[in-house]
Amino acid sequence: MFKKTTFSISMLVLGAALLLARPASADSITLNLTNPVQAGAAGATLSFDATVAAPGNNGGTIYLNGDNFTSLASPLTSNDDGFLLGFPLSLDPGESFSGLLFTITLPPSINPGQYLGSFAILGGTNGDAQDELAQVNFTVNALEGTSAVPEPESLVLLATGLAGMMLRMNRWSAIGE
């Protein structure tokens, strides 16, 4: 009888533990680009802002340990300093952050058209994890034949040159009289 009672109590404890145990689930983040489709002229640099959030039902802190451009159309160039220098190292359940995620530069010789890319945040439940936590796709539209706005220095140089030419012409006309 003692063995039967011990077995029943053990089964009861095991059953209660299984019922009370939290189901195992992988903690996650969400990643959303503010403007995933952008357009620019040759030579332009486009900034991609994003919001990253850790759902409130996560079991603990999520570490944002790295990033990866999982695809990037040639000849675009990327800069992930926004993520590396601006984003938090971790997010607790319910926390979120918004800011510059990365920039894409269009080379001066780019052909007009549509270019696609993907960006991923890597990390996990500790500071060494490199699991892909979230990925976003983005589109860059390279525009055709846009005229560049001159820089202020160029305008000053042009004005100085024109003023010098006018003075020189006035001097020549005064000598000719």
Q: The domain that contains 164 carries what CATH number?
A: 2.60.40.10
Parent domain of 111: 26-171
Whether residue 17 is contained in a domain is answered as no
When pLDDT is cut at 50, 70 and 90, the band that residue 1 belongs to is low
Q: Residue 176 domain-assigned?
A: no
Q: Is residue 9 in a domain?
A: no
Q: What is the pLDDT of residues 10-63, one digit of tens each?
A: 555 545 554 444 444 468 999 999 999 999 999 999 999 999 999 999 999 999
What pLDDT score was predicted for residue 23?
42
Per-residue confidence (pLDDT) for residue 147, from 0 to 100: 46
Q: Do the domain assignments include residue 102?
A: yes
Q: Find the mean pLDDT for residues 105-113.
A: 95
Whole-prediction pTM: 0.68
In a domain, 19, yes or no: no
Q: Which of these, 96, 94, 97, 68, lies nearest to 80 by C-alpha position?
A: 68
As for how many domains the chain has, the answer is 1
